[in-house]
Structure 1
Amino acid sequence: MTFSRKESETMQDNKERKMSENTGSFIKKKRQYQEMGMKILHTCRSEICARFPFFSYASAALSAVVETKMFPNSMENENSSQSWIHGIGTDGERIIADPVFLIYIWAEKPERLKRGCLHMLFHCLYQHPFSDKKMEARLWNVACDLAVELLIWQNIPENLWQYSSEELQKRRQIFKFFKGRNCSAQVLYQLLKQEKLPFNIEELESLFSFDDHSLWSVNPWKREQKRCRWEKILTYTTLGRERQKHRIGASSGNKEEELEELYKSRYDYRKFLRKFAFPREEIQLDEDSFDYIFYNFGMEQYRNLPLIEPLEYKEVNRLEELVIAIDTSGSCSREMVRRFLGETYQILSTRENFFKKMKVYIVQCDCCIQWYQVIHSEEEWKEYMQKITIQGRGGTDFRPVFELIRKEQEKRELQNLKALIYFTDGDGIYPRQKPDYETAFVFVKKTENMRLVPDWAYKLVIGERTKI
């Protein structure tokens, strides 16, 4: 059967249209899976940090990448780590996960995913992905998984993880065998290699494996850098846990004291904000200036009767744009944030500080951007103050706010940004490089966390009149 040229072209057009529609459908569905996977992973990590605050710093040290091989992607690099990840894994810098895996696990047993995130954190804290020794891969993987599960069992109540009775019985039997022994991954590896354990390797894999360890071999030249980084994080996490233990018996009244200190605060932010104001003319009567031509004309024509007409343009020093970031990791209450914004508003509402068309970004961030709004008027600010809700309560990572600002600058939404004010308790991950605008981290009171603030940033304390 033959077709005319016109019929052939029509058939070809229909075929191409159908392929285009299918590709578009794949891309849309892939994006939906990725967005859902990111939400699940973020929720999981936030709940871990809320339950175990001393893991916030370690959790925030791992960025999240959600990617899937379920759908075709011609732009994907087959050599990239995302192209062969199975389920979920970490390379010490990122958690990389398949959204289909996340959705399935979250629907079946969400507690298993939370335990899995802790499992990966312990791998990093105890340097498992960064070993450069030549070891038998399967035995080393099992040894590392068993080591971190023993650590979790020793430090976190097992009733949080919703094990089946059969699984719980097997796990307890194995843990009982190791009670009182040195259970580092290196020791367990030697025991497995010498076949000195009364458990077969398949049983240990089925009970304790969770993440894909193939990512550990990615970028071997970065191992030393990652090892040093996680040594510091382990020290910080250990100190955080000890501080939390110390605070358990002495926490009564602390929040009330912080609020009371904030109510009394009268720190003058004007010194900070004025430092970055720049001169600009506005259409506004300048009663302090006038046209000398009219003045002289009046004096000469009407004798001692000067004609004074104020200039329509007045040069003022004002901040045109400002970003206010709020740490919503759980350490800053709604009332505390509201008071901080109220005090900041008292400064911004003065005529000499802002143009009539002001632009203030108010950003809520824990370990990622939770929400932000651009305020353009006094009315919008007051409305926000009335309806403020705190979103987040996860770990603290300051870097997403700086990344948001960078993107807004690239889009030309922010063109004259001079300053970022970040209200926080200071316990989080800071950017390494100084941005092209000044940054101030604002604290309720003096705290040990102030030592973590980079040298290029200001440290301001509400309630005190001096800059630390």
Structure 2
Amino acid sequence: MIDAVDEKLRRRAEEDRLAADILEECRVQLMLKFRFLDLALWRMSLQPVRAGGAYPLATNGHIVALEALRVIARFNQSFNEVVRDYLHMVLHCIFRHPYNADHKDREAWNLTCDIIVESVAMDMCAGRFSSEDDTARKEALSKIRLMAGDMLPGKVYSLVHNMVQTPAGQQYRGLGRSTLNEWHALFERDEHAAWPAMGDTDNKSVENVPEKYSEDESSNNEQAASSIEELLNAEQLPESMREQMQDLESRGEDEGSEGGGEDNSAEAELAAEQMSYSHEDQGADPMGNFQDNEEREDDAKEWEEISKQIAMNLDTFSKEWGEETNSFMQNLALVNRKQYDYSEFLRQFMVQNEEILVNPDEFDYVYYTYGIDLYGNMPLIEPLEYKETDRIRDFVIAIDTSESVKGDLVRRFVQHTFDILKSSQDYATDVNIHVIQSDSRLQEDMVIRDMRDVDALMERFKVRGFGGTDFRPVFDYVQGMRDSGKLTDMRGLIYFTDGLGTFPDAPPDFDAAFVFVEDEAREIPAVPPWAIKLVVKEETL
């Protein structure tokens, strides 16, 4: 009985070592083809697991959890498949998919991430590390690109989300659940349950596990049981790995001939403990105990730095790589765009005012000491009736209502701005806010004197214009109000636009910020040196 346990533990340790060596060889091969991925390929340590997962690999951004039996089985199928599995997982981290929690429809977002990285991987490999399903993937990607418009995360997510939300038995633009299941099977290669963005939910991204990964555990064990012997004879096995496996095999035979006593049993058990751990002991998430929130934040920052470093390297040597990395660089540019907190940004336009408020931070020490002397333990405090505060009073919100700007987006931006103004104590109730609509000429100036009137005014708000775009009329109009004393406390102007217009030649004597909604399909236009550029996500409005 003890010999059987020893053999099982020894076998498991060998399988874990072999699976780890296979992945190390994948790293080396990817490094030889894509030198700019060096930091990303070795960023995570390998951790063999026995979790019974449906996929060979999983990651939380910190470690790679590998199912040894499935990795070996995939290697038996094709070494290229394991390489593509590993590249797929690393691209998720480079694009920071595991840390993106902005999308509520997790199935749609998970599938979107898989579609994007597989599309990028196919472009990068360009015939290298080919997969037997690549032809079917190309057909599916052509259909997705045709329906979504561009192979960009936001557009693909919108398509997939609408398909997921379509009631059962119905179709969205001729596509239904059967098409989604087909895409799941084609594009998924790793498990997403351990992604930090998934939180504590056990939300799987697929309803039906792809058939090629859905064998029961017994069949997987039978397939992997003969894998070591088969791999020793495989022509694609690297020589260094072959020698290591032969050494393991011969060492196992020597130990078996010695009778396998207690020392051998202890050694085998120790090796098994070092190379694997029990899924039951770790809970539902096999990697959940390896990180706390601070470590996850550190990992997210490190992946951000890696993404930026890769983008810089590719930008420097873009001619060397040609069109193979175009989609990769496009997705890198999207994920590396700097994001801003719009509510924090508005605080830049505060001015100092004196409010009729109790100021507990300042009081007269004469009364304080007099109370102590007179009553022993009762200080007298006379708080000041005035307090200096930073508030926004005079403010201008300019809206580009040209034909290229969506009317619904304009309304959402104005409403979002006022929601921030009303909810924060940093904004005064009595205000002098001008909401100016303009295309190539001034269309309307809506003045707000009391923040309590905003809701009533927004009900009557209508977008006017839809002509060309010229920013100069707004700046001339605002400068006229400043000269006439109507905007004496004004610190700045926020201009919501798509940027396709004529800017003033001379800088104004107040701060001006141009706010753009992030558009994956194009670069945000440049602004003059004297202006502030702010990019916000549409879903935050």
**TM-score (norm: length of structure 1):** 0.41
